[in-house]
Structure 1
């Protein structure tokens, strides 16, 4: 096994600050760390801002002091819900150093459905090679919004077939250990001891790893910056907020099964409510609601969301959101919104020491699929963040103090660990010895409400 050594790896006598001198922009093998892409974005010298986007007019600012933009050409694309629908080039960029110029692009939105989000991607590329840079190298880019994203209606409807009566799901309550929801070609089970969804089978396809559960999640494996600010101790109450089931109820409402679980969170004084609405095809709308005790003083949390484990065969990811590299609430400016297809294995980045990684933000929809294209799709009431790894949070967590570990030494698990979050606290990329995220990127102790829908994806055999 090959690892990159850092302070403390070589002997027990030398002074050491752990991996402090080995966590910069570039890893020892010259591979850019994920945060390098964000730095590269802010270091670029050509900037694009709206002038009159409805007429296709943009403003280009040349931040260079001593060269104009004649060495570059502009490439633009219009994307509707992530699909390229128009594109073009501007070969003659007449923008002097430290000057701005307006440029007209032949954009036409008339043929694009008003229901779709429309984005404009602009990139600036070299006409000819320069030193180490080949012709066509992108030296700057931006993404502008032509039409805002419209979140989907979160009303979960039954799937109706003409002249065929809806077959409502039924709830079996006489089992000692499980509350069982049966429907046409699906079975969903809830553990009566803790109220958690613990089995999800549709048309013979097991969508959850055996023995796993869909559980609330408020914790992440602390990052280097988290350790530097002591957040692994300050936020420790959220690692195990001592959830205790106080009520588990079920009903049939509007020809759908509804399961409601209520919890005390003894360590925080809050109340948590999980509501599951299940339609006739096995789609599940999940509502996670936390009501804080206004009289309690409790720390911020790392995240507000849920996690579940799927069989390892669900090893492909498709999503419409910011990518392709990992990104976080305060480190996502350089990640463009688009449609991406990746593997679960590609989500993990081997930082010098193990820690939280692989998250994507501003997700519109997310799919976890097997090789046959079957799996689960997730959508939410607003753009959300998500990750899918072959590593658990626990396996990447060093505990209260940094351990002398390396990412390559962490054994992957034999399932896909999926996290879906309303929000996750930022990374505080100011320094790694005390800075915490800016206020707008923190999650204070307060009320939260998060709704998402899980929809099975399966292809009929013909």
Structure 2
């Protein structure tokens, strides 16, 4: 009788795992489950001073998930573990893999270079949205983390910078969500899944999913985590999105900033525009809720161009009763781009584009590009008078644009 009960419990656990992970990886109608809203690139700091310092790793709102994780790899998708996310799962015999880290650059599978077509073309006849199970490698990750005590009562999000080709996420044995789009961030609100102190984070990645049909680029096909991953905390009322559109008048003399804001909750919004010396040159205040727009004007701003990339800093602070809840810094440049006839003009001046294509590809780490490697690329381009980059064929790491 005891043996039958134990067997029934095991079957129930496996069934629950299968229910949490359905066929999203094979369903073109499902691109995400419980993924947080996409937004512009920014980080919300705990104070205006921290915002001006603009180092998220030093912020009390930041907790890195980079580093070594427990890791399991299987060759075929139907051999993947289905209950690995459970708190009582035994991972003692699992290996370790760095995050960020690409499987093929760490001894799991082989890189495949394909110009046009898909990496499975020698074994599987393409039949969208069907995806092969054989040689569809699956990596499973586990790691225990500790939530800071001062995050109590805050909204806590997970940020996965780039995962190929998809990600299933669990926290403390509970299914959180799913995401495709391998070159876009995937964020999830973990607030209701976390507990004070230690927590188990587990995720699973497939080499191929239905979204792979839309990611046919001429480069090495790799799998795994390619960009930084971290947790971050927000107050219960926060700025959901901030989008800034700069412009110049017809004489390229005076500038304006159109600022679009989306709120979660409400508060008092303070906008301050600072020059390169951190001197205030413009500002605005208003009560904030829902979605709204406002415009800031500046007389004779320093203009941005490739030769003179002058930048200002806009700090958006959300306050309650005069106390700062969070502060977001955004770098902005005043410039006007136009097409007149067959000529592209920047701030009214004709520009000769000398551009290159650039893939995110490192000889040692694959898709993971360190800041040092980015700087090396930029120096090489500047030495050859390159003034334009085509980020083929996907959104790059946000740091590259900065």
TM-score (norm 2): 0.30
Task: Name the structure, 1 or 2, with higher relative contact order (CA <8 Å, separation 6+).
Answer: 2
Structure showing the higher helix proportion among its residues:
2
